[in-house]
């Protein structure tokens, strides 16, 4: 519940805190994957783009995947290896700036490819070009995160292609998973073979996107390795690629907050915090999911119930009901676990709420503060 050690006293509140040793633990799994299976792993910047960690990550991963010009710039400047770019719709103004940064570029539709093919043809020859396909399968139940929903805007269906790839196309991108297991990976490959098998002899690479949660404790890494090796045996000329976002930063850090007020109601007590769920952890409201608080548990009959209240004036800026072994007090510090992936990349400065700082607990146990935000950061976003 309350964190009182000297280490936590030195961390400003609120603060996103990465734990270096846990990130290193996750990277070891992907090092093993690439050692035992013919596959390259990229870091998906849309899920985790904390560039202070890139010197550690690039020792294991082969590059980054980017979804915009700015992500491509960040990857090229800070990671320094391959940059794979995909956007649902490129702008005329952005593409000429993206091309010098990218090693691979993928188009979402045939019209986008046809519109920009002439620019590609006159640009750097090092680019490898791909198309995003729709495998018409996804295990994802939440519509917000399901790219294969009916009438999706993401990817090309198999009936939109003839029997031969357009000239210049070397790869496919299939992104249809979200925190999924190795059996969803296996089904995805079978579905790609079923719908797009006629093109596989023509491909140089197949990017299986993100959503491969290989760092979750119950993920069957051995089965994933078998699936990848079996596909490679069938198509040894194809370079397989995955680009996890969540899995790289899974359970590698937390969001520290402080109780600012306690507001009792007939049914529960609202614990008012110095973080905002809508501004700082929007996935909690979008998915939705209830984050784990260190030292808290599900309320039992007769226990005092605390509801976590966000710092913004949005009525729905609250999350979950919790119970604690000891009563909460104003000034207590709470740790929201597993807040590195798809949190910091989605934060906003809505309501002018104080933005969480960013820091790391290094392997020797010391805390390093990377960034604190100010009024000037808020103001600069507005003009």
Q: Which residues are annotated as a binding site for substrate?
A: 283
The distance in angstroms from the start CA to the end CA of the chain is 40
Annotated binding site: 283
Cβ neighbors of 133 (< 8 A, separation 6 or more) are: 155, 156, 157, 158, 172, 173, 174, 192, 195, 196
- Using DSSP, state whether 228 is helix, strand or coil: helix
d(CA 129, CA 51): 26
Task: State the Cα–Cα distance between residues 357 and 374, nearest whole angstrom.
Answer: 10
Angle subtended by helix axes 20-36 and 221-234, to nearest 10: 30
Q: Phi and psi at residue 327, in whole multiples of 5°?
A: -60, 145
- Site of tokens 């734990």: 19
Burial of 185 from C-beta contacts in 10 A (0-12 / 13-18 / 19+)? buried
């Amino acid at each position: 519940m309350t964190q009182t050690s000297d280490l936590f006293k030195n961390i400003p509140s609120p603060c996103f805190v990465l734990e270096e040793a846990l990130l290193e633990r996750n990277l070891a799994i992907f090092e093993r994957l690439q050692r035992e299976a013919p596959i390259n792993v990229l870091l998906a910047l849309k899920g985790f783009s904390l560039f202070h960690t890139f010197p550690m990550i690039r020792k294991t991963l082969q590059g980054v995947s980017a979804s915009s010009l700015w992500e491509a710039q960040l990857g090229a400047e800070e990671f320094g290896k391959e940059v794979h770019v995909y956007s649902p719709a490129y702008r005329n103004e952005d593409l000429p700036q993206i091309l010098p940064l990218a090693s691979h570029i993928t188009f979402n539709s045939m019209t986008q490819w046809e519109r920009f093919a002439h620019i590609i043809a006159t640009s750097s020859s090092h680019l490898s070009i791909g198309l995003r396909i729709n495998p018409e399968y996804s295990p994802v139940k939440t519509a917000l995160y399901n790219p294969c929903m009916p009438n999706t805007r993401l990817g090309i269906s198999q009936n939109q292609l003839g029997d031969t790839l357009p000239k210049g196309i070397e790869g496919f991108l299939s992104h249809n998973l979200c925190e999924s297991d190795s059996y969803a990976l296996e089904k995805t490959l079978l579905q790609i073979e079923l719908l797009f098998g006629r093109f596989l002899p023509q491909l140089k690479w197949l990017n299986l996107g993100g959503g491969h949660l290989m760092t979750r404790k119950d993920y069957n890494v051995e089965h994933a390795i078998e699936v990848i090796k079996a596909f490679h045996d069938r198509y040894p000329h194809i370079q397989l690629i995955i680009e996890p976002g969540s899995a790289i930063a899974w359970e590698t850090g937390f969001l520290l907050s402080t109780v600012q007020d306690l507001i009792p109601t007939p049914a529960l007590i609202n614990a008012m915090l110095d973080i905002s769920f809508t501004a700082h952890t929007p996935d909690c409201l979008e998915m939705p999911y209830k984050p784990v608080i260190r030292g808290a548990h599900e309320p039992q009959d007769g226990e005092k119930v605390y509801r976590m209240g966000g710092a913004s004036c949005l009525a729905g800026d609250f999350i979950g009901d919790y119970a604690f072994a000891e009563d909460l007090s104003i000034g207590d510090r709470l740790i929201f676990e597993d807040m590195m992936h798809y949190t910091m990349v989605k934060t906003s400065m809505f309501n002018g709420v104080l933005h969480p700082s960013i820091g790391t607990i290094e392997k020797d146990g010391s805390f390093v503060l990377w960034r604190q935000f100010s009024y000037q950061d808020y103001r600069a976003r507005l003009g």
